[in-house]
Amino acid sequence: MLKRLSIAVAGGLLLVSAVAGCGGDSDAGSGSGSSGGDDKITLGFSQVGAESGWRTANTKSIQDSAASSGIDLKFSDAQGKQENQIKAIRNFITQRVDVIAFSPVVESGWGTVLKEAKDANIPVILTDRAIDDPDTTLYKSFIGSDFVEEGKKAGEWLVKEYEGKTDTVNIVELQGSPGAAPANDRKSGFADVIKSEPKFKVVASQTGQFTRTDGKAVMETFLKSQPDIDVLYAHNDDMGLGAIEAIEAAGKKPGTDIKIITVDAVKDGMTALADGKINFIVECSPLLGPQLMDLVKKAKAGETIPQRVLTEETTFTPEQAKEALPSRKY
């Protein structure tokens, strides 16, 4: 919360449409580690990992956009570990890259390494996920979604779906990776909305690490320990898709016996939504590459850039998923 307030107060806020984000994506190669001429901007980027369909689309967007913008991208995969990201950022500082960008695995613990980047005069841009540090001078900009808002949208759909009903609604929740901004914020946004109605009860809530495998395994344990599950809220599509496999294996019908809400709206999730196996998806756009490259060029040129660039996103019902799927880019 602190980080959001300080971001809003400290800098201008720019709203960028998710659809506009697709425009600059090219079919060019990975863009990773290409050697550039002297005047080429060098961007060091540390990615979270490859845990989900969302992440794969995000990596592609960044690599393609760097290639089409003529930016020399030094790409590093942290494999879900903060220590790997800190190592990568220190390497980027040693290599004297022009700009550093990263999507933080977790929210806390970035002060020391970002101070090192600041002392080396290398601008830092946060992408996708925020950090929980009150010192907003540690980075130039943060581009990404409002995860609290995403959780709220999930809760609002649920409230509407059960409007006028008085029976208890038993909810199980598959959380994202512990400590990650989208896990913390999607949980709190959802909880804030449903707390106004005591009929909603979160009977089990556990991490599924944002992966299909863990989503399936944790849903299996939920199904064994909870005799009467009405709703599954999964913090991303992949965990929801894994859970669908567990629900079907238990002889239940996903979307009917257990209502399912997820976040992301990647193609596989949207297909399950169109098929009636998921009931509602809150969109989170991974297509951050074009705006990131624009910010990188401006940061390198010493121009003032907005401290918060917010991606504009929507929600999908099964009918809307059927309409959107043919032109879905990820």
Would you tell me which residues interact with ligand AHR (CB under 6 A)?
51-52, 54-55, 128-129, 182, 210, 236, 238, 263-264, 284
For residue 304, the minimal CB distance to ligand AHR (Å) is 26
Residue 212 vs 259, nearer CB to ligand AHR: 212
For residue 54, the minimal CB distance to ligand AHR (Å) is 3
CB neighbours of 265 closer than 8 A, spacing ≥ 6? 237, 281, 282, 283, 284, 316, 321, 328
Count of CB atoms situated within 10 Å of the CB of 68: 18
Residue 74 vs 186, nearer CB to ligand AHR: 186
Residue 129 vs 259, nearer CB to ligand AHR: 129
Residue 162 vs 330, nearer CB to ligand AHR: 330
For residue 254, the minimal CB distance to ligand AHR (Å) is 19
For residue 144, the minimal CB distance to ligand AHR (Å) is 7
For residue 26, the minimal CB distance to ligand AHR (Å) is 23
Residue 284 vs 292, nearer CB to ligand AHR: 284
- What's 326's DSSP letter? G
Long-range contacts of 124-128 (CB under 8 A, 24+ apart): 124/99, 124/100, 125/99, 125/100, 125/101, 125/292, 125/295, 125/296, 125/299, 126/101, 126/102, 127/45, 127/62, 127/101, 127/102, 127/103, 127/288, 127/292, 128/48, 128/58, 128/103, 128/286, 128/288
Paired strand residues for 17: 312
